[in-house]
Structure 1
Amino acid sequence: MTTIVMERIGRLFISLQHIKQVLRLLTSEASPSMPATVRDTEVPHFFRERYVRAGYRPLHQRWSYYFLSAFRRHNETVNIWTHLLAFLVLLAKMSHVAETVDLIRDRHAWPLLLLMLSALNYTAWSVVAHLLGSKSEMTHYTLFFMDYVGVAQYQYSSALVHYYYSAEEGFFRRVGAVFMPVVALLSWLSCLGCCYGKYRNHTLPPWVRKVSQVTPSTVAYLWDISPVAHRLLFGDPDPAAVYHLGHVAFFLGCAVFFAFPVLERCWPGGCDFLGQGHQLFHVLLSCCTICQINASLLDYGGRRQVYARLYDGDDAALFVALYGLTLLMCVLIAAFMLRKAKELLDRQSK
């Protein structure tokens, strides 16, 4: 017995030693060459956030520096971890759903599958953009343009589940022929507006850039949420209504904190690590997504007699094809704007 106990204590000691070594690798003790963060005056204006005074990572470091910076304190740390944790929660949610829903063979489940895949996609690109976007201006443009592509395709998928699972027959009869084509168009415009706002970060005032990013997304959201709004106003109460209302409430909070640096403006320099509007935007958007998935799951299970009467398997396949076209168009928009950004940087370097 004593021998067994001593062996277990030995294994525990070795494990603790390994953990300690890993933690040391993530600190400046093992990486003395990793530079400290700098103030806003020490990075180009392009990288500065309003009212955030310090915590910026220096440019043009090794890739390993930016990867390891996920475990260090700087003004993007919370942005990285909020969506990384959201990604893991959404991945676990999708795994759980896949145990009870045939996401592949049931074509009526394809909109739900697109929603969850697009949610994983936008959170993943957000993590990558905030983690690695400080390496250089070109890297920043590239990763955030892809982040905007992720947001646009999530916007399409959100509208699709609202239309497919939540729409009442009266709403379907009025706008059924044009709803999804308009969704695709608005997704393209949203991607273009976000990319253009980032591209003009050098020259336009902050409020103009925000208008170019927020306006297309706002118009798109009003259109995308219209099937749910029509149902909540004119339909009968059901269990999914709570989640739909939660989704709307969280999204309104997202819009406020994305558009306005509320806390930073009240406390300049006090939110360099925690309390930035974009951090709150990440948290609220994650909650919005989870509410939306839960609402869609309830509608998928409880309203099948409604949507199965309105759509067939061919409709689902058509919407998936339109999703592919939307994604392709958004990637082309991002590529076009990236080319414009490269030309801008080349002119500035001469």
Structure 2
Amino acid sequence: MDKYMKHKLPTWLQPVFKSQRTQNVEQVPEPMKELYIRSGFRVMNQPWSYYLLSLFNWHNETLNVWTHLVSFVVIWNYTDHLGETFDLKGSSAGAVILAYSIGALLLTFLSSVAHLFHAKSLKHHYLFFALDYIGVSIYCFGCGILTHYVFSPSETFRVLRNTYIPVHFFLCFNSFLSCTVAKLYFHGNKRKMLMVSGCFAHTLWLLIPIFARYYYCIVDTSCSVLSLNHLVAMYICLMATSVAYVAHQPEKSNPGAFDIIGHSHQIFHIFVFFTILAQFNAMTYELGMTKSVNAELTVNQVYTVHIILIVIEITAVIFLLPQLNKKVKEIENCASAKQN
């Protein structure tokens, strides 16, 4: 393949598509291993250009990067399209759209960056995935804004008006911290179970307005439950995303067969994209019917809370740096002892 490209590609493009060597699972540190993935790991301690150019090579992270990069472009275009209908900077509906869209954009972009560059070293592995978890928490915060201001019944909104967002803010940070600590101290199924448990209470909190929406529809004879199918589609996608994340299928049934294409984390990314599309569809449907939200919200408020959450989480990462460095040193010393 390299010989073919050398003759067919312009000289300046040849380094981009040059095949890169990958490693088997036995050659990578324990924290970088993924359950039932046996090959396709990139070599550590290479120049940054190596990892950037790995975007155009086949390894076990290639589709993880590209699925979220494509999602990022679609979300950007979708948000831009909504800007033709809604005043994104001067209306409460626009502020909700931006709150959700910023979260979805950061989720997909930071995840792509993490999957592309984390193999640089063990320390970079931890730091880039902490960045990934920041993106997840900002996305979750946007989901809460969307749920509270658009999907929540007015009665429920009035009851939770002073508590929903503060509690949601705390749960976003808790989800970030759970994922970061789980990544630092645990491996395999234990790590994933801690991550999922950290997000479980958060999910229940997000569901409260949705359950209330169904309750008020059921007791209202003029409301058809079928009119809420756009919300059902959203949570079916979310459930499928969760199953894909924890099931480790199909690679669990046939370890090594899906290392490059078809493993569960790639499927998880695809379902994340479907969930985002379903949320955009539900948001567009609801706002298209009413053109309004439950209460006034400004773009400055959205930006301010996002910045505060990001600063707090970066501070938490800085606080954890001594433990991170200690963990990296322990793993490297252990690896050196085994080699000797």
User: Shorter-chain TM-score: which interval?
Assistant: 0.7 to 0.9
Question: Which structure 2 residue ranges, 5 or more long, are not aligned?
Answer: 1-5, 218-222, 334-340
Correspondence for 1:266: 253
AA at the equivalent of 1:222: L
Mapped contact 1:241–1:295 kept (Cα < 8 A): no
SS of the residue corresponding to residue 255 of structure 1 reads helix
- Sequence identity (%): 27
**Per-residue deviation, 1:85:** 0.6
**Per-residue deviation, 1:24:** 3.3
Question: Following the alignment from structure 1 to structure 2, what is the Cα–Cα distance between the partners of residues 320 and 18?
Answer: 51
1:174 aligned to 159, 168, 174, which one? Answer: 159
Find out whether 1:25 has 2:30 as its counterpart. Answer: no
Question: Following the alignment from structure 2 to structure 1, what is the Cα–Cα distance between the partners of residues 93 and 20?
Answer: 52
AA at the equivalent of 2:85: T
Mapped contact 1:37–1:74 kept (Cα < 8 A): yes
Find out whether 1:344 has 2:327 as its counterpart. Answer: yes
**Per-residue deviation, 1:347:** 4.6
AA at the equivalent of 2:305: L
Correspondence for 2:296: 312
SS of the residue corresponding to residue 134 of structure 1 reads helix
Correspondence for 1:331: 314
Cα deviation 1:303-336 (Å, max 9, x = unaligned): 346x3xx42357x755654343323222222332
Cα deviation 1:284-308 (Å, max 9, x = unaligned): 0011011112211222232346x3x
Correspondence for 2:264: 277
Correspondence for 2:273: 286
Correspondence for 1:245: 232
**Per-residue deviation, 1:18:** 12
AA at the equivalent of 1:345: V
Correspondence for 2:58: 73
Correspondence for 1:6: none
Mapped contact 2:86–2:93 kept (Cα < 8 A): no
SS of the residue corresponding to residue 60 of structure 1 reads coil
1:87 aligned to 72, 76, 82, which one? Answer: 72
Question: Which structure 1 residue ranges, 5 or more long, are not aligned?
Answer: 1-16, 29-33
Cα deviation 1:8-57 (Å, max 9, x = unaligned): xxxxxxxxx999326533333xxxxx641111111112211111111111
**Per-residue deviation, 1:169:** 1.9
Cα deviation 1:175-208 (Å, max 9, x = unaligned): 22211111001001100000011111xxx35222
Find out whether 1:47 has 2:28 as its counterpart. Answer: no
Mapped contact 2:37–2:255 kept (Cα < 8 A): yes
Correspondence for 2:194: 212
Question: Following the alignment from structure 2 to structure 1, what is the Cα–Cα distance between the partners of residues 178 and 297?
Answer: 34
Give 1:114-193 correspondences, 5 Å limit: 114-193=99-178
**Per-residue deviation, 1:73:** 0.9
SS of the residue corresponding to residue 264 of structure 1 reads coil
Correspondence for 2:3: none
RMSD: 2.4
Correspondence for 1:10: none
SS of the residue corresponding to residue 25 of structure 1 reads coil
AA at the equivalent of 2:9: K
Mapped contact 1:146–1:334 kept (Cα < 8 A): no
**Per-residue deviation, 1:109:** 1.8
Mapped contact 1:115–1:161 kept (Cα < 8 A): yes
**Per-residue deviation, 1:348:** 4.7
**Per-residue deviation, 1:89:** 0.7
Find out whether 1:223 has 2:205 as its counterpart. Answer: yes
1:194 aligned to 161, 164, 179, which one? Answer: 179
Mapped contact 2:234–2:275 kept (Cα < 8 A): yes
Correspondence for 2:338: none
Question: Following the alignment from structure 2 to structure 1, what is the Cα–Cα distance between the partners of residues 262 and 194?
Answer: 25
Q: Give the structure-1-normalised TM-score.
A: 0.85
SS of the residue corresponding to residue 100 of structure 1 reads coil
Question: Following the alignment from structure 2 to structure 1, what is the Cα–Cα distance between the partners of residues 139 and 7?
Answer: 40
SS of the residue corresponding to residue 265 of structure 1 reads coil
**Per-residue deviation, 1:240:** 7.3
Which moves more between the two structures, 320-329 or 129-138? 320-329
**Per-residue deviation, 1:65:** 1.1
Question: Following the alignment from structure 2 to structure 1, what is the Cα–Cα distance between the partners of residues 262 and 27?
Answer: 22
- How many residues are aligned here? 322
Compared CA separation, residues 205 and 144, structure 1 to 2 (3 A): closer
Q: Give the structure-2-normalised TM-score.
A: 0.87
Compared CA separation, residues 242 and 337, structure 1 to 2 (3 A): farther
AA at the equivalent of 1:165: V
Question: Following the alignment from structure 1 to structure 2, what is the Cα–Cα distance between the partners of residues 177 and 337?
Answer: 32
Question: Following the alignment from structure 1 to structure 2, what is the Cα–Cα distance between the partners of residues 300 and 342?
Answer: 48
Find out whether 1:56 has 2:38 as its counterpart. Answer: no
